[in-house]
Structure 1
Amino acid sequence: MKNIRNFSVIAHIDHGKSTLSDRMIQLCGLVTDREFKDQLLDNMDIERERGITIKSQTICLPYTAADGQEYALNLVDTPGHVDFSYEVSRALAACEGALLLVDAAQGIEAQTLANLYLAMENDLEIIPVINKIDLPAAEPEKVADEIEEDLGLDGEIIQKCSAKTGVGVKDILEAIVTHLPPPEGDPDKPLECMIFDANYDPYRGTVISVRIINGTLRTGDQIYFMHNKTEHRVEELGQFLLRRTPRKSLSAGQVGYIIAGVKTVSDTKPGDTITHKDRPCPAPLPGFQEVQQVVFSSVYPISTDEYEELGAALEKLKLNDAALTFQKDTSAALGFGFRCGFLGLLHLEVVQERLEREFDISLILTVPSVRYQMELQDGTELTVDNPSHFPDPGAIARIEEPFIKATILIPERYMGVVMNLCMERRGENTNYHYPMPGRIEFSCELPLAEVIYDFYDKLKSVTQGYGSFDYELIDYRPSDLVKLDILVNGEKVDALSQLTHRQRSRERGLKACESLKEEIPRQMFKIAIQAAIGGSVVARTNVAALRKDVTAKCYGGDISRKRKLLEKQKAGKKRMKTVGNVDIPQSAFLSVLKSEQ
């Protein structure tokens, strides 16, 4: 065990985690130059295109240190985005140490701090690494001072490298061996084994990533999942080299995988404890939580014939993504679809993109919403995430909405615009401090519903790309919530209904009406597009009628002849308006939902 090191690489988005992992894999000789490709551990097309890690990966690096000793370095790669922070926390619980990566040009950012706090909660030994020292704008000395002063980390062990060129990566591997502690545990105790991730193999079922805390696990053992309360038999276990490499056993301190005939990923929950059926451990490992969805949206196929295919596609995605939830939903305007729950907007985008690419289905998504808690006058409590389930306003005693604590790191000069942005989004309890000269750490409590639309895009715009943002859910607070209905020619379009704060309802309604006006084709009669709360209209626009020139054939004679023809046309249009139906094209739905997102 003294020759094992379990560590993770944590950083803000785009500070070079995947590139550093690539260099380490190359240095340890796991891949030949011919087989090598960038972002070696990212195996999804979307991850490669966007340059982000969505699914965490694990790899065991065989390394010979300067003192001639052979070491097994277990690298647990983590996603950087805030949506997947629970996955990051479970991955960190499987490690003894972490490399905290900081960009030499950008310095410490919001998620650098958030991930550092996560690592500290798990009592990890931290090695600070300054990356991208080859950039023209790099200021490694200034960033080293920031790390020492603001994060309180030891300046003596700061490593400097360029993951792109490979400079300094060998020193980082030596620092891992020297400064990170070996795992503790007893191979003879009852088995305690933590699940930190799982992915789906179409031939073998679920491949569970585990860290053995105590005990020894062998092929053929009967195992028991303590939170899920299910039993399985181990068919295969081993370690992750670039490919899965079977072993006869895994013992305390090691990281590896188990294949035990588990059918879906949702049967394995990150943080769950695995133990032996006949010799169980006394209690499950601490820190287990159920994954909470925070953003909800309905997904409909553009062609109604694809409903069955969409259901099958979601089932297949669910095999690989335990955080996705869905149930059947229906809409008068869009037909049959599914109401889905996501961890955040990035998760929603990734699922949408995978459905469109991997299964070739064109989709419409309704306006994303969050989960509200309500208490009715008769004392019943309910949670609502779908505008169509919103109860009668007269029956509601209290509504509460989720709030988050946002941490925003910005250069000093953008303080005013960021404060305005937070105030516009109903921010509360704002405070700030200067972690370093010229930079401000600004924290604010905001309603989650205000953040899921376009807050991050707006923040990037007003700070010219320098603002970084991280958040955590804190609690539910009372709110004045209303259901905003969109009416076209006097009829409600249920797919466009949304739940919003009364203060923002007119602005949202006007935006939706303007978008629809651009897309709905003109008819022979005037079409009214309205946004209403209950019986009161808060915003309205009109689509002008097409006019036929009925007086063209009437020339000369008395004015009353023209007037008679115009009156006849007016009566016809009135009759048309009462019986006429307005077909809303799919592009109109998309335009409203896009403007919202």
Structure 2
Amino acid sequence: MSNPTDVSNEARRRRTFAVISHPDAGKSTLTEALVLHAKAITEAGAIHGKSGRRSTVSDWMEMEKARGISITSTALQFPYTTNAGDICIINLLDTPGHADFSEDTYRVLTAVDSAVMLIDAAKGLEPQTLKLFQVCRHRRIPIITVINKWDRPGRHALELMDEIQAEIGLRPTPLTWPVGIAGDFKGVLDRRTGNFIRFTRTAGGATAAPEEHIDPSRAHDVAGVDWDTAVEESELLEADGADFDPETFLNCTSTPVLFTSAALNFGVNQLLDVLAQLAPPPAGQRDVDGNLREADAPFSAFVFKVQAGMDSAHRDRIAYARVCSGTFERGDVLTHASTGKPFVTKYAQSVFGRERSTLDTAWPGDVIGLANAAALRPGDTLYQDVAVKYPPIPSFSPEHFSVARGTDPSKHKQFRKGIEQLDQEGVVQVLKSDRRGDQAPVLAAVGPMQFEVASHRMTAEFSAPISLEPLPYTVARICDPEDAEVLAKLASVEVFTRTDGVMLAVFSTKWRLENVIRENPDIHLRSLVAAGSN
């Protein structure tokens, strides 16, 4: 067993966070820029514009490359040396921004200690950002706000600060302030030192942007009236009490703010330093009974994601597990809390996007990839020596339903295996009923793009193409077995059993649901977690 002091020291070095945003706010580009500035890669993979686009390290699926959006969450671990010379271990979880993949993002947010909320300078707070913020608020996750795309025309910085406070109730406390209006980004005023940090463009933003720290006494000579304006606005913020306060940040009532252009790599170093200096390190995890398992307690982890198809040469799948306490050593025999069965960790890996390497040791906050983990599901707990079980990850309420049928009868085994795999990963929920039989399972999803992913993967990974027949349902509720027979006889209602045994009644519309409840007051229906809710 590892020395608790070693565990505590290693935990203090870790920063495990997710990047959340509305689609197209620049989330994957920022992820790439952070990795670039930490010197974990030498050249950014994103070339903007459709022609000649290269994928980022975090967007590796073929559909992600083709569409230029994140479809699945990705884990990236890399070291970062701060200006003070301290080495910080960054565990960065890139999340899908699209609302159709809210469930995947929610799972990731169960595995982080803080979040970076990325806001488009021109669009401000958008609906998906607001939904993800509510999840962070419910889980007490401190948020660092980044105003991105300041190199493009956008809104006034002070207006954006007002919107953040009005819309989400967090007090914005800018750490940097832009020099130059949106679309004319010269650099930032570092409100902690008073210095002007001037950025220099590089070709295509492919390499780290050089930056020059200029004393405030010289800043006017370099930036002119733009510097004067930045100083005046910073003084207004100070007079309004908008200076950073560590206590309110960690208590989730304020949010430090930085200004960046991820595409040009402007302001990225400042974000890395803020994460290293201000973001909370791992501090243990509360179990299903609400008791805190300290970071230096015996080893425990929970699985927040399962992903297959990362390597076409190997039909394995990776379970992503967040280390909550203790030390992980490859080869350890752990206990699977749900079954009580042993789980051998011979094939433990460190994950960097799609790339994998053998992992020998991991500490609280780290994300470990467990290969060939057929027994593991999202929400499962693994532990050693002292038993613990962490809260399960709830399934979201589906709003789209389609019958899946294999188009090639000779591929029946592949069809069944593929559907089972997609269900176990949580790509879609799989529903069955006696009425439809095993040959025509119903796929249920939060958004229709999940069906596209399922169909693509059935063809590409399992060589079992499917056809999808939409069903006219939009609302789902959990029902008791004794009520299922009554519900199944009603018009515009159907009852299914999910693969975890939960019975779901689905309704054509919310008005149909309300009518059924009114006409059958003895029936008990329970809500599932709504997409993007708390």
> CA separation of 1:374/1:288 partners in 2, compared to 1, >3 Å: closer, same or farther?
closer
The whole-number CA distance in structure 2 between the counterparts of 1:336 and 1:167 is: 53
CA pair 47-153 structure 1, distance change in 2 beyond 3 A: farther
Do the aligned partners of 2:408 and 2:464 also contact (CA within 8 Å) in 1? no
Partner amino acid, structure 2, of 1:314: I
2:143 equivalent in structure 1 = 126
Corresponding residue for 1:213?
A: 324
Say yes or no: does 1:79 pair with 2:183.
Answer: no
Residues 509-536 of structure 1, C-alpha deviations (whole Å, 9 max, x = no match): xxxxxxxxxxxxxxxxxxxxxxxxxxxx
Structure 1 residue 177, shift from structure 2 partner? 1.4
| Structure 2 residue 474 is matched with structure 1 residue 367 | no
1:492-511 paired onto structure 2 within 5 Å: none
1:381 to 469, 483, 486: 483
Distance 1:374 1:290 in 2: 11
Aligned ranges 1:557-596 → 2 under 5 Å:
none
Corresponding residue SS for 1:80:
coil
Which whole-Å deviations, capped at 9, do the CAs of 1:296-330 have from their partners, x for residues lacking one?
A: 21123566666666445535645655544265999
Q: What is the SS of the residue equivalent to 2:171?
A: coil
In structure 2, the gaps of 5 or more residues are 1-10, 47-53, 175-255, 285-293, 496-505, 519-534
Greater relative CO (CA pairs within 8 A, separation 6+): 2
Give 1:391's aligned residue.
489
Give the 3 Å change call, closer, same or farther, for CA 177–297 of structure 1 in structure 2. Answer: same
- Give the corresponding residue for 1:45: 62
Does 1:25 pair with 2:25?
no
Give the counterpart letter for 2:380 in structure 1. Answer: D
Partner of 1:577: none
| Cα deviation code 1:257-291 (max 9, x no counterpart) | 233x422xxx3222222112xx133x412353356
Change (3 A) 1:224 1:49: same
Amino acid at match of 2:325: N
Instruction: Say yes or no: does 1:339 pair with 2:442.
Output: yes
Answer whether contact 2:103 2:395 (CA < 8 A) is retained.
no
Query: SS at the partner of 1:199?
Result: strand
Q: 2:402 aligns with which of 297, 315, 319?
A: 297
**Counterpart of 1:280 in structure 2: which amino acid?**
V
- Aligned mates of 1:71, 1:2 — CA distance in 2: 9
1:302, 1:364 within 8 Å by CA — same for their partners in 2?
no
Question: Contact 1:237 / 1:248 at 8 angstroms: preserved in 2?
Answer: yes
Q: Deviation at 1:7?
A: 1.0
SS in structure 2 of the partner of residue 477 of structure 1: helix
Give the C-alpha shift of residue 203 in structure 1: 3.6
Please state how far the C-alpha of 1:331 moved relative to its aligned partner: 8.1
The aligned residue for residue 198 of structure 2 is none
Equivalents in 2 of 1:448, 1:326: separation in Å? Answer: 14
Deviation of the 1:6 alpha carbon = 1.0
Instruction: Confirm or deny: 8 A CA contact 2:115 2:143 kept in the other structure.
Output: yes
Deviations along 1:538-579, one digit per CA (max 9) or x if unpaired, are xxxxxxxxxxxxxxxxxxxxxxxxxxxxxxxxxxxxxxxxxx
In the alignment, which residue of structure 2 is the partner of 1:553? Answer: none
Which protein has the larger Cα radius of gyration, Structure 1 or Structure 2?
1
Q: Check the 8 A contact 2:473/2:509 in 1, yes or no.
A: no
Q: Secondary structure at the match of 2:328?
A: strand
Q: 1:253 aligns with which of 344, 360, 365?
A: 365
Q: 1:216 to 1:112 in 2, by over 3 A?
A: same
Q: State the Cα distance separating 1:160 from its structure 2 match.
A: 0.6
User: What do the CA deviations read for 1:498-519 (whole angstroms, capped 9, x no partner)?
Assistant: xxxxxxxxxxxxxxxxxxxxxx
The residue that corresponds to 2:26 in the other structure is 16
**Deviation string, structure 1 residues 115-149 (Cα, Å, up to 9, x no partner):** 11111222222111101111124543422331234
CA distance in 2, matches of 1:199, 1:375: 30
Residues 383 and 189 of structure 1: is their aligned pair in 2 closer, same or farther, counting only changes over 3 Å? farther
By how many angstroms is 1:294 displaced? 4.6
Q: How far off is 1:90 after superposition?
A: 2.8
- Which AA in structure 2 matches 1:12? H
TM-score, normalisation: structure 2: 0.64
1:440 is matched with: none
Go from structure 1 to structure 2 and tell me whether the alpha carbon gap of 1:159 and 1:285 turns closer, same or farther (over 3 Å shift). same
2:109 is equivalent to residue 92 of structure 1: yes
Partner AA of 2:278 in structure 1: H
Gaps of 5+ in 1: 402-446, 452-474, 482-597
Deviations 1:49-80 (A, max 9, x none): 33332211110121111111111111011222
Distance 2:111 2:471 in 1: 37
Which residues in structure 2 correspond to 1:256-275 (within 5 Å)?
256-259=368-371, 261-263=372-374, 267-275=375-383
Q: Which amino acid is the alignment partner of residue 445 of structure 2?
A: F
Q: In structure 2, how many angstroms separate the alpha carbons of the residues matched to 1:191 and 1:48?
A: 37
Query: Residues 16 and 281 of structure 2 are in contact (CA less than 8 Å); yes or no, is this contact kept in structure 1?
Result: yes
Instruction: Give the TM-score taking structure 1 as reference length.
Output: 0.58
Contact 2:111 2:322 in 1 (8 A): yes
Identity %: 25
Report the CA distance shift for 1:449/1:229 in structure 2 as closer, same or farther (over 3 A): farther
The one-letter amino acid paired with 2:99 is V
